[in-house]
Amino acid sequence: MDFRHVGRSGLKVSTLGIGCNNFGARLDEAASLKVIHAALDAGVNFFDTADVYPLGNSGASEEILGRGLGSRRRDIVVATKFGLPMDPLSKAPNGSRRYLVEAAEASLKRLGADYIDLYQVHFPDRQTPIEETLRAMDDLVRQGKVRYIGVSNMPTWEVVDSLHASERMGTEKFISSQNQYSLLAREVEAELLPALSRHGLGLLPFFPLASGLLSGKYRRNVAMPQGARLTKSQQLADIFLNDANFEIVERLEGFCQRRGVTMLQLAFRWLLARECVPSVIAGASTPEQVAQNAAAVDGALSAEDVAEIDKLAGNAPRLFWAH
């Protein structure tokens, strides 16, 4: 397992990160613990969760992760998020000082930890000045409860605006941005990637397999696989399953056959070829899937391969999904 710095920070993470949003939902605690232990055995040191995970059972993911890491906690980079409502009756994201401080304390308790390695704004709160959010996050860093701060699902202009605000106030700066990014969702390439590169932030992609469409398990005009994410979620299926995407996948499968690589390897290694990407966040349901993902990041594409893949993927359609 390789390790990379997140942006220009001192934080180093494994090139494979484990997304924990299915802990306590699709996976019960016993199955989740097997995934966590398999990841540790594979050399993974990066786990990404959120206080609101999983939807419908908020907080369970953090609790399971904390119990699963146990005495290994000091060796691991735990990223979590705040801001999306834990209360289903509340709909607006919240970045206020009052909410943030209480959310951090609650996450620490659920994780059974003294500190959070990477604390991320889950979704921008446009009712609260970013200066207030940054001041509160800076206080948590100074208190030793948070090591680094980041954002998620934030458009380029707000990321840059927040960096300027940090400079004006002399507070901690965001070191990372977590956004949807894959061969089928490349909107971040237009503005966000250049901005992150210019300002020294890392991009942490979620949905690297486009909810499984890039895993090779889905075929056009073929029955959907039982139990798969796009089979179970009509909302995601409506976003990802269309002729344009299937055409791209079929072209990429031809490349895989010519080069002797799997679709999984292609999808992960293409992302890791991006300058700003230190790690690919991927969920897993079984230890075997963890092992496959770990093997997929253990290798690199040549510059020529990347250029050919870019050409084959073309201009993917806009697919927005907040995570």
Residue appearing with tokens 């966040």: 281
Q: Pull the structure tokens for residue 217.
A: 């398990």
φ and ψ at residue 19, rounded to 5 degrees: -80, 130
Q: Pull the structure tokens for residue 123.
A: 């979704």
Residue type for position 120: Q
| Measured distance CA(120)–CA(183) in Å, rounded | 24
- In degrees, rounded to 5, the angle at the alpha carbon of residue 240 between the alpha carbons of residues 234 and 314 is 175
| Measured distance CA(33)–CA(228) in Å, rounded | 20
Burial (CB count within 10 angstroms: exposed 0-12, middle 13-18, buried 19+), residue 270: buried
Beta pairing, strands 202-206 & 3-5: unpaired
Candidates 72, 55, 61, 3; CA nearest to 29 is 61
Active site residues: 53
Q: What is the DSSP code string of 167-227? A: HHHT---EEEEEEE-BTTB-GGGTTHHHHHHHHTPEEEEE-TTGGGGGGT---TTSPPPTT
| Measured distance CA(208)–CA(185) in Å, rounded | 9
Q: What is the DSSP code string of 26-38? A: TB-HHHHHHHHHH
